[in-house]
Structure 1
Amino acid sequence: MNETNDLSITRLIDAPVDRVWSIVTERLTEWWCPKPWTTEIVELDWRPGGRSAMVMHGPNGERHAQEGVFLEVVPGERFVFTDAYAVGWQPQTPFMTGVFAFADEGGKTRYTATARHWTAEASARHEAMGFAQGWGAVADQLAALAEG
């Protein structure tokens, strides 16, 4: 993997890590995709090898299913998921691995979300899809929930 295939967004959230982590894991439907899109959770099994399956619904009837597995879950610190596998380690065509990190910064939380792509082409395609705006909006939504 080449770090140049990573796209990343970061925010300093004015809330402690435990509050942010709680919102991330318990209120995912409220922040996971940019509004007016909504998130339907199919299954979130927060453990390595656990299923990560959701459907994002757009305002005009768009439907984007996400199916993958968690690779790592360290409560209060980070979670990593990939769509390279379905549950049971069944290979599928990959798009990215998501790395979400949460670090204490003086009682606030440094949130960093990274999309790691297998190829420069996939990274460029994700960037062209509006990565910065979309993942930035998601970070803002998470911050608003945690700071509210």
Structure 2
Amino acid sequence: MTDTYELSITRLIDAPVGAVWRAWTEDTGAWFCPRPWTAEFVTQELRAGGRSEIVMRGPNGEENRLEGVYLEVVPGTRIVSTDAFTAGWVPAGPFMVRIDTFADEGGRTRYTATARHWTQEAKDNHAAMGFEAGWNAATDQLEAIAVGIAKASG
């Protein structure tokens, strides 16, 4: 696999992997899209083949519904999802495969979020939609939650 159709961000988060994993999996709606947008995880079955249904809402009443499946979930390490299928492996018009990885780096977490697209056009459209700014803002929110979890855990 080349990175030809890939967009990615990486961040060293000042919290252990367990805290970042908990923030990602337990409070996903609070960080998943940059404010003032909100995300409601209607369904989040974090297992291979599990369903994902998200409603993202904008400040002016915009609504974007996303549905997909989880392809791989390795607790504390990796989450892979796609919108190429809906529940029951029904093919859908694919936009991307999302890969989130969590790696320990001296008690902190190297978090990487990657979007792999089927075509150059899809990648370019995602970049033009504000991928870098949006995914970095969402990761700022994820980091704040993870740091709070780490502090509360002692």
**Fold agreement, TM-score > 0.5:** yes
Unaligned runs of 5+ in 2: 149-154
Q: Tell me the distance in 2 between the aligned counterparts of 1:20 and 1:125.
A: 29
RMSD, aligned CA: 0.8
Are the counterparts in 1 of residues 19 and 147 from structure 2 also a CA contact under 8 Å? no
Are the counterparts in 1 of residues 39 and 55 from structure 2 also a CA contact under 8 Å? yes
Residue 73 of structure 1 aligns with an amino acid whose one-letter code is V
- Give CA deviations for 1:58-113 in whole Å, capped at 9, x if unaligned: 00001011100000000000100000000110001000010000000000000000
Q: Tell me the distance in 1 between the aligned counterparts of 2:107 and 2:100.
A: 18
Are the counterparts in 1 of residues 7 and 116 from structure 2 also a CA contact under 8 Å? yes
Residue 100 of structure 2 aligns with an amino acid whose one-letter code is F
Tell me the equivalent position of 2:143.
Answer: 143
Q: Tell me the distance in 2 between the aligned counterparts of 1:91 and 1:63.
A: 22
Are the counterparts in 2 of residues 10 and 139 from structure 1 also a CA contact under 8 Å? no
Tell me the equivalent position of 1:89.
Answer: 89
Tell me the equivalent position of 1:61.
Answer: 61
Are the counterparts in 2 of residues 16 and 104 from structure 1 also a CA contact under 8 Å? yes
Are the counterparts in 2 of residues 103 and 110 from structure 1 also a CA contact under 8 Å? yes
Tell me the equivalent position of 2:29.
Answer: 29
Q: Tell me the distance in 2 between the aligned counterparts of 1:44 and 1:29.
A: 10
- Give CA deviations for 1:18-65 in whole Å, capped at 9, x if unaligned: 011011100001100000101111100011010011000000001011
Tell me the equivalent position of 1:75.
Answer: 75
Tell me the equivalent position of 1:11.
Answer: 11
3-state SS of 2:20 partner: helix
How much has 1:2 moved relative to structure 2? Answer: 4.0
- Give CA deviations for 1:97-141 in whole Å, capped at 9, x if unaligned: 100000000000000000000001100000000000000101111
Unaligned runs of 5+ in 1: none
Tell me the equivalent position of 1:122.
Answer: 122
TM-score in terms of structure 1 length: 0.98
